[in-house]
Structure 1
Amino acid sequence: MSRKAANQSYQACLKDVLLWALLGLPAVWAGLTRTLADSYTWPEVTAGLAAIGVAVALGRSRPLAAMLVAAALWALSVAVRGDPTVFFLALTVMSCLAGTRMSRARPALTGLSAVAVAAAAVVPLVRWDPTSGGFVPWDLGAWFFAVTGIGLFGLVPWLAGHARHQSLALIHAGWERAERLERERRMLAEQARMRERSAIAREMHDLLGHDLSLVALRIGALEVAPDLPGDHREAAGEARRAVTGAAERLRDIVAVLGDGDAGHVDDDPTGESVGELVRRAAAAGMSVVVHGAQEEERIPGPARAIVRRVVREGLTNAAKHAPGSEVRVRLAAGPDETEVTVTASAPDRPGRGVAGGYGLRELAGRVRLHGGILHAGPSDEGFTLAVRLPHVTPPATDVPGPRPVALDLALARRRARRTRLAALLVSAAAFTGASAFVLGFMVYDATTSVLPPAEFAGLRVGLAESEVAAVLPPRTRIDDPSWPEPPIPPGSRCRYYGVDPDPFGELRLHRLCFAEGRLVAKDFLPR
């Protein structure tokens, strides 16, 4: 393990230990005091700290499991102790961290729903009363806290953390976009250089190659002239070989410079018409005949430039590879397309030109981009270069490429907005539902825990608990008043009932205390 990885691992471990200490502090405090809740026993505190430690240990590698452990711990504390405060911080923090570390929402929603359903089913069965040391009947308040707390303290923090996750993903996507744009800028600059080199190579091949071929053709004709003295014939041969060597070096340079995308270059750099090209070749000694030269005027500009390029390439190849042959150039322009053919008959003597093929390859690429068809090869008449070219270039078909970075960025922004909106809506819905439930529960609690003053006045100390139970409401109003009250008789258990059913008025209570199955004290507790 590298030093950097070791430092990162040490820092992560230190942060987890500090997080465990922070989340376990309320449990330790509950074991020492009664400020947060009824005092916890130290076995309960130890079990809570161990559960928090498991959640923190799983937080980085298994954030969903860590959140569910914290949710189960919180629901269990509500079920067993009726206390929603001690492990509230652990549930909230672990849920928020899980949202930050998780990319998918469905597993979190499924897990929290499962914990809420389990809490709804289990809490009514395991409600523990630490005063009496036994289980107490089902309490709607504890059930409410266990179920709704999963949504308020689990789901809402998870959504907040997930919004943070989406924001970080958005920032990361922005930096990736910047890096990709920088790479694309460098690639475009390199492609521009390659296109420039290829354009230079094309012009060198078309202009210099064509001229060198005609020069070699002129010198070759001079070399075989019967009336030329021997020393002059030898000089002509040296000149022809020098021109051939220059053409060979030109081919090598063109091969190097033309290694790339040619891009857009001028297909007719010289501006010479087909007739002018034929006349210049004939003046150099080539036997060339043209048919349909007047058809050139009917050909549109872009197609006409490529036609001239075809004729130039055909004459150059005939001069290189078939000196002394008869060359025929034929043009046929139709309403929608043009056919151009350059045919060289079998040469009178072997060609002295250099091997190449670059010109034909480049010409084939230009013809193909214009939507035409090129055929070059032996025929019954010798060697034929034939091209069929439409007058209108067909539209280029778009090749599907990678998804634009801007689209990825837009999708990340939309996911972040949706997550924030979901967090707000869930929070608003949870707050509204909780408020409605609390108001309803207050009304329900007040109306079902009333011991009317007349019934209270009829109770006498010493009555059996079973006789008193016949006039008591089904529920108590509260478990313990928050204001001073008369001393509780030793060894007795007290119950508190409301005086009237008004949930929003001043709280007044009737207290009944029982010991050994009999009523031992009754008191009116004004606030």
Structure 2
Amino acid sequence: MRIVSTTPLRRGAEVLSAVGFGILGAVPEPDLTTVLLLGIVAVTIGIWSRGVRVGLWGLVVLVFASAARALWVDGYWIYLPEELPSALLRAGLPWLAAVALRQYISLGRQADQEREMKRRERAAELERRFAAERLHLAQSLHDDLGHSLSLVALTVGRLELDSSLPDSSRVALSNARQQVAQAVERLGDSVVSLRAGKPLGPPDIETVETLIRRARDAGAHLDVTRLPEESRLNMFGRDLVRRVVRESITNATRYAPSETITVHATDTGDQLSLCVSNQVRHGPLTMSTSGTGLAELAQTLAAVGGDLDVTRETDRFVVTATFPVAADPAVFGDEKQEDVGDGKPRSRSTRQARIRLVVATVAAIVIGLAVGEAALHFQKKRTVLTAEDFASISIGDAREDVLLQLPGHELPPSRGETRQPGCHFYAVTADSFNYAAGDAHMVCFDGDAVTKLEYIKGKHR
């Protein structure tokens, strides 16, 4: 066995360390200070990168030094079998412990490197798979959704040219056509980004309150009771609560669009119960879609200790969900976890989640622009009191005569608005892009006669 090194200085350090370690270990009947010093030297050599070689040479020196002292200095070889085992233990045990510790750390680093290599290989494989899925999705969006949007724009454009429609409707159709065209352009940009693999930022995640308000604005009849504040919903996984509410409202408006949707929440402290129900038409419930939304939500809730139950009663469709309190609200994320090779749970697919967000964004654009505008226009149109009809009403007119001129529906109160008793509000225009959009005609009755007439700007409501 030879002590070798790449430089004389390093070789000299190794020789001196081995000789010093061996001589110190060969000291007979050492005191406590010598034992502690020997332990420090042994550990230092053991954790050295060349500690195995230097330590072995040091033990060889220890044996020769002990033998030389016993035979030539003391003159009694009997000292050798008595003192050599204890000397080897004093020097060898701490040195072996340090070597084992260093090897453990080294093997751990090597295992980390191997796991990192496997992780990179797995990540590369996933990247190739996601690239193929991304291209397939881009092609599907371009061929199917892009084509459908173009047909919607063409249909709206054809209706816009229909001279039998009133001017306000034709203006609304023109705006809808332009918005659908813009949606097609944004869809094209999304398809290009998907094909190129560019990162796509996720859209802002709306609150549950905003979701309910948008549904009401779109014409849904919602009766919401005891829904906790957003800060409290965070304790139960706000995003998951939002997904359940959104999917339940979507199903209800799809299969029973004219019925009232009841949303009732019960917060017991350690659990949130949410019940969303609506009247259903008589007869079997026919689903025209795959219906996987509630099923996926049931699996997600079950994974975090919650529950989702869907029942069809005699005349109601009921979705009941329970959400446990999360020690870490992040456990209610929308992504599934997958081991990518390094032993730590990772997101199954951040890119796949982004793709889903893109699809959800495109769907929201299509629904919000192509359908929402038409539905909002129809709803407002039922509450319009034209300027001519409003001008024909005078204070003191008989209630019975005035009611014949008023629309069958009136504007609902704005948030925080306090209305005077006996006063009714009607829209000035159904066109969302008209300068008078949001303004109202107020007609007040006291007994059987009109007592007050007022044109109210939207900002003063």
The question of a shared fold, defined as TM-score above 0.5 by the shorter chain, is answered with: no
Q: State the structure with bigger RCO (CA 8 A, min sep 6), 1 or 2.
A: 2
Larger Rg: 1
TM-score, L = length of structure 2: 0.30
Normalising by structure 1, report the TM-score: 0.27
